[in-house]
Amino acid sequence: MTLIKKISDKILPKKDSRDLMKLFYDLEGSPEFPFTLALSTFEKLEAQATSQKELIEYLMEDIVFSSLYATFYEEILATIYQNPDVAVPLVNRFSEDQSTREQIIAEQTQSHMNYIMAQGKCPGCAHCDNHQDVKDLIQYWAKQDFKFFVTLYMGMQTIQFTMEYLLYDVVPTCQDYSRWLKRENLLKFRQNLYDFVEQKLNI
Ligand SMILES: [Zn+2]
């Protein structure tokens, strides 16, 4: 699965990502716990969908959206890691750019959705160069693999809510965290979050 980058445990001392995981675990039990937020967005989609196929389509759309979004989080957090002194202005600028960013991601998501639902065919669009990143989803869509999409959705949403929390709540108030935002740590953190979700869903 290319959307979830698996990296070796050996790359970094475990302590760093465990410290980031502590941030996550500290929220457990509160309404702001990212897994709880993910569950509630899942339930909303479930209530909206009129069939399982429609629900899978909604899940897939959000999966593609949040995996594209994740790249932006990685970039901004890595930039903060390199420039901790200007962390707050960087967060503010990122926040101001939100609607432009979401528009770009939404357009790209739509192109990828068309590509996946046409079994990997695209007559040509602005995002053909990146279809490769979502190619793995075609087979699961063809199989209508509900369990696969629920797991990936919950994983990606949990990661997204955690990154939001890290960027908007933790970094501006506790800049000490900037030194943990090394790219390798973030990738490991994402993987740990994903593993947590898999365990929680009992997979
Ligand atoms: Zn295309």
Q: Give residue 60 CA to ligand 1 midpoint distance, Å.
A: 17
Q: Is the pLDDT of residue 22 over 60?
A: yes
Residue 4 C-alpha from the chain's centroid:
9
Q: Considering only CA atoms, which of 153, 179, 189 is closest in space to residue 46?
A: 153
Q: Does residue 4 lie within any of the structural domains?
A: no
Report which DSSP code applies to 131: G
**Mean pLDDT along residues 145-164:** 97
- C-alpha 123 – ligand 1 centre gap (Å): 6
CA of 124 to the centre of ligand 1 (A): 4
**pLDDT at position 104:** 96
190 occurs within a structural domain: yes
Angle between helices 52-82 and 146-165 (to 10 degrees): 30
Q: Do 127 and 108 touch, CB atoms closer than 8 A?
A: yes
pLDDT at 176: 77
The mean pLDDT of 85-103, rounded to a whole number, is 95
Instruction: Indicate the average pLDDT of the chain.
Output: 90
- Pair 154, 39: CB distance under 8 Å: yes
3 in a structural domain: no
Ligand 1 midpoint to CA 110 (Å): 10
Q: Average pLDDT, stretch 11-35? A: 80
User: For the chain, how many structural domains are there in total?
Assistant: 1
1 domain residue, yes or no: no
Mention every residue, 6+ apart, whose C-beta is less than 8 A from residue 59. 42, 45, 149, 150, 152, 153
Centre of ligand 1 from the C-alpha of residue 109, in Å: 11
Mean pLDDT check: name the lowest of 1-5, 34-38, 109-113.
Answer: 1-5
Residue 192 in domain: yes
Q: Measured in angstroms, how far is the CA atom of residue 138 from the centroid of ligand 1?
A: 14
Domain residues for the domain of 31 are 9-200
Res. 17: pLDDT tops 80: no
Q: Could you tell me if residue 2 is inside a domain?
A: no
CB atoms within 10 A of CB 27: 18
Would the pLDDT of 7 be above 80?
no
CA of 61 relative to ligand 1 center, distance in Å: 16
pLDDT at 18 over 70: no
